[in-house]
Structure formats: C-alpha cells, structure tokens
Amino acid sequence: MIHQPSLPDSRSGQALNAVSLSGPDHLKPQYRCLLFRALKIKCFPKNRVYFLTFSAVKPMMGVFACFMLTGNVWAEPLKTENLSLQDCIEIALQRNQQMQISSASIAMAEAQYQQAMSAYWPRISADVNAQRADEDRTFSGKSTVNVPTLAGTVSIPFDMDVKLFDRDMLTTSVNLTYPIFTGGRRGAIVDQAEKGLAIAEIGERKTRLEVIRDVKKYYYGALFALDMEQLASDTLERFQVLEELTERLYQNGSLKVKKTDYLRTKTSTAITRSLLHEANYSRELAHEALTNAMGLDWNSKVTLAKDEQPLHLNEELQTLISSAHDFNPDIQQLKLAVQVTENKITEARSGYFPVIGFQASAYKLWNDFDGGLVNNANREGWTIGVGLQWNLFDGFQTSGKVDYAKAQQRQLESQQILLDQAMALQVKQQFLRLRSAGKQMEDTREASGYAKENRELHVRAYQEEMVETKDVIESEIVETFTQSSQYRSRHELEMALVSLEFLIGQNIQSLNQ
C-alpha cells in the first residue's frame, strides 16, 4: 500500500471558520522550607554536635543569599495606581487568557503544518514478528516417475514429505515507502495547512484587537463613571449650601423665602444624594469590568489617570473603508478561506489520477531448520520496486467531492461580498456617529460654560433676595444637566473611536500620521 499524505480532520474547520506569573512567588516559601530541611538532613544529622567555622558556613551562606535575592528577581510588583490607558492595555495583553488561547491555536496550526510537510519525507517502518505454528510446515508430493530400461519403460511411484521450516520463526524487516506522484494531493494539503497557519495568526491579531477594544471601552467607561460621580458630588455640595442659605433666610424672616422653598431645597438635596449613591455603584461596577478585561483578580483595586482628549478624525470615509478592507481580520480570514477552497478542489481532483510510489524493504529470518525455505540464501534479503494504485471506478465519489468543493467556494465568495458590504456600512455608521458626537461635544461644552455662569449669577442674586428659590434650583439642575451632557458626548465620541479602530483593524493615530 502506497502512503498518501493527509491532514487531520480539524483542518477544514480551522481554515473555513475562521494570570501569567512574573516569577514563581507562590513556590518561594516551599523552596526555602525544603532548603532548610535538606540542610538539616544532609548536613546536620541528629544526635551529633557540630562546631561550624566560617569556611564551613561560607558555602551555605552563598546558597541562602541566592535564595533571598531571587525574591527580588522573580517578582516585580504590578502597577495598579494611576494607570494610563496604555498601562491598562499592556497589562491586559500580558494577563488576559484570550491571548493564551490564541497562542495555543497558532501552536496547533503549526503542528498541523508540520504534519502536512511530512508527506515530502519517506515513511520508514520496522516490523518484528515472532510466531509458533501448531507443527512444522512441510511439502508433500505424490507422483510416478517413468524410468527407461532395456526391457522398456518402468513406472516407479513415489510418495515424499519434505520439511520446509521449523514451527518457531522470528521475522524482522525494515520497510520504506515514498510517494512519487499523488495527482497534486500532497501540494494541496500543504497549501491548506500553510493557509490554516496564516488564519490562526490573523486570529491572534483579532484577539489582540478585541482585548484592546474591551480595555479601551471599559477604561473610558470608568473615566465617564468617575466624572459622573464627581459631578453628582459637586451638585450635592452646591445643593447643601443652597439648603443652608435657604434655611438661614427663612429663619431670619425673609419675605420672599417661604417654608415651601425650604422644603423644595431639602427635597432636591435628598434626590441628589440618592443619585450620588447610584453614581458610586456605577463607578465601582465600571472598575470591576476594567479589572476583569485586564485579567486581574476580582479583588484587585486600580486607580486611573485622567487621559487626554480623544483624537478627532481627519480621514475621509473612503480611506476608512479601504483600510477596513485591507486590515480587518474577519475580511482577511475569509479571503484566505476562499483560497483554501481552491486547494480543496485540487485535493478532490487528485482522485482522478493514480498514486505512484517507491517501495523498498530488507528482511531477516531466524529458524532452527537449516534447509527448505529457510536455507542460507533465503534467511536475509531485500526488495525494491515501484508501485501504482489507481481507483478506476469509485461510484462517482471523486466527482462528488469536486462538486462539493466548488459549491463551497461559491458560497464563501458570496459571503465575502456580503462581508465587504456590511463592513462598509458599519464603518460609515461609526463615521457618522463620530462626527455627530464631535459636534455635540463642542455644543455641550459651550452650553456648560453658559450654565455655570447662569448658576453663579442666580446664587449671588438669591443672597440678595432678588430671585426666587425655584429659579436657583433650576439653574443648579440646568448646569448639572449640561455638564452631564458634555460628559456623555465625550464618552460617545470615545466609544465611536474605539469601534472604528476595531473595524479598520488599526489605530486611528496610524491613519492620521
């Protein structure tokens, strides 16, 4: 039988579907404990008294020093305070388990590629067989021999029983097979494995982009929650001051401030305090989501540094769409999958051709009998030859495989067209979202300045009893609303940038350069 190259069954699915430790800190106490125990057993047996000199202690001091110093080498403290966005991304890329899964996928694809490349090497095997038959093997012959004599021909019958070999036999052989011609099957399988490796590498880049996207999303969400918490705290502080001022004016017999105004301010203060509690919960939840995306433990505490203003997009829509078609990992994987189907068609068509291979073997026999089939000439030897295997008729199985591969190719090509169109629509959506958020951010920033000035004027006028209490409360609410709208527009702009970067497969800064 001629060996034909093949890939594992999982190659088709891979091709077509497209808390690391800095050092063994948890083992150091065990190492030191084992060291003391070893020294106690090896160097200090029981029931004996020792007088140690410096020369005797010096080697042990060196060992102790090495173990103590490795504590500073193995473990480098993880930075969790005043983290910037880049710090969070670097931690996530090191500790997020999705990156480990992608690395394992690449290792699996490389192993499959090595399996496919084995078809270019000969297959060498060794066989050893030991057997015992029920009895010695013999050859029986019965016939008549005509012997000419002076009196004429005389027929002499004979009956003989010849021993061929003993019933105990040991056989060893070394066999070599090498496919010379496979009808293109070998090259097609290797190309599929090579593209499968490329798909796995693109999958790792996609995972990297997903990790960065999640970290950015939760990082900006945590900053947004911090801003909203600070805004609620500032608003509560202003309402408390307003409540004290209203109480003082009411108790001093003001003609414009009534008890209903006093109750209105206390109600506003209580509602704002409730909103502050909700903001505290949102901030803690956002930080938990960020630590989880970074691959940290659930009880890890991190503090964030205020990031710079998000970049504004200067590129045209067509440039963004072209970048998505060139660098988006989903599109790249689907392109490779279409190329894989071409190799699968070649692999299926190889069934129409014969398989030609080279064969060679060497053998040696051990048997107690010295004659018959196991004489000295037959005890060892070798054979060499060329074999051909050709399926002349397989019930149209090969044609069915070819038709299936062609249909699969048409399916993936249609999916590629749909993906290109869908990607263009998604990029356009994020582009429009980004432009709208940028305009909203400018307008809300301007409105926030006006609202702050309006609130300050109302507070000063309220101290002189020139405006009513409800007008001051309204100015406070308006300022809080405009500031929250500014924070929301900023967060919307950041989320649009994050989504757009994931779609185009690269950072916005690389386009702006």
Residues 198 and 158 in one domain: no
Give the per-residue SS3 of 469-511. HHHHHHHHHHHHHHHHHHHHHHHHHHHHHHHHHHHHCCCHHHH
* Domain region containing 199: 194-305+315-341+398-512
**Hunting for tokens 């019933």 — which residue is that?**
167
Residues 463 and 329 in one domain: yes
Give the pLDDT mean for 254-258: 81
Residues 405 and 264 in one domain: yes
In a domain, 488, yes or no: yes
Residue 79 pLDDT level (bands cut at 50, 70, 90): low
pLDDT at residue 299 is higher than 90: no
Burial of residue 200 (CB within 10 Å: 0-12, 13-18, 19+) is: buried
Other C-beta atoms lying within 10 Å of the C-beta of residue 337? 23
CB-based contact 419:330 (threshold 8 Å): yes
Q: Please tell me which residue, 469 or 64, carries the higher pLDDT value.
A: 469
The pLDDT tens digits of the residues spanning 475-502 come to 999 999 999 999 999 999 999 999 999 9
Percent of the chain at pLDDT above 70? Answer: 82
91-107: buried (b, 16+ CB within 10 Å) or exposed (e) per residue? bbbebbebbeebeebee
In a domain, 109, yes or no: no
Q: Please tell me which residue, 6 or 342, carries the higher pLDDT value.
A: 342
* Rounded Cα gap, residues 106 and 203, in angstroms: 9
- Residues 267, 269, 272, 274, Cα dihedral to 10°: -70
Percent of the chain at pLDDT above 90? Answer: 61
H or E stretch covering 54: helix 54-74
pTM summary value: 0.74
In a domain, 12, yes or no: no
Residues 459 and 418 in one domain: yes
Query: pLDDT at position 82, please?
Result: 86
Give the pLDDT mean for 373-400: 91
Query: pLDDT at position 62, please?
Result: 42
Q: Which residues contact 435 (CB under 8 A, 6 or more apart)?
A: 313
In a domain, 98, yes or no: no
Residues 386 and 470 in one domain: no
Residues 365 and 218 in one domain: no
Q: What is the DSSP letter of 118?
A: G
Q: Which residues contact 295 (CB under 8 A, 6 or more apart)?
A: 19, 91, 92, 94, 95, 96, 97
Query: pLDDT at position 477, please?
Result: 95
Other C-beta atoms lying within 10 Å of the C-beta of residue 498? 21
Give the pLDDT mean for 268-275: 95
Residues 299 and 241 in one domain: yes
Query: pLDDT at position 115, please?
Result: 93
* Rounded Cα gap, residues 151 and 111, in angstroms: 84
Residues 140 and 167 in one domain: yes
Residues 156 and 245 in one domain: no
* Rounded Cα gap, residues 218 and 212, in angstroms: 10
pLDDT at residue 177 is higher than 90: yes
* Rounded Cα gap, residues 98 and 438, in angstroms: 33
Residues 369 and 326 in one domain: no
Give pairs for 451-458: CB < 8 Å, separation 24+. 451/475, 451/478, 451/479, 451/481, 451/482, 451/483, 452/479, 454/478, 454/479, 455/238, 455/479
Residues 472 and 495 in one domain: yes
Handedness of CA 63, 66, 69, 73 (dihedral sign): negative
Residues 131 and 152 in one domain: yes
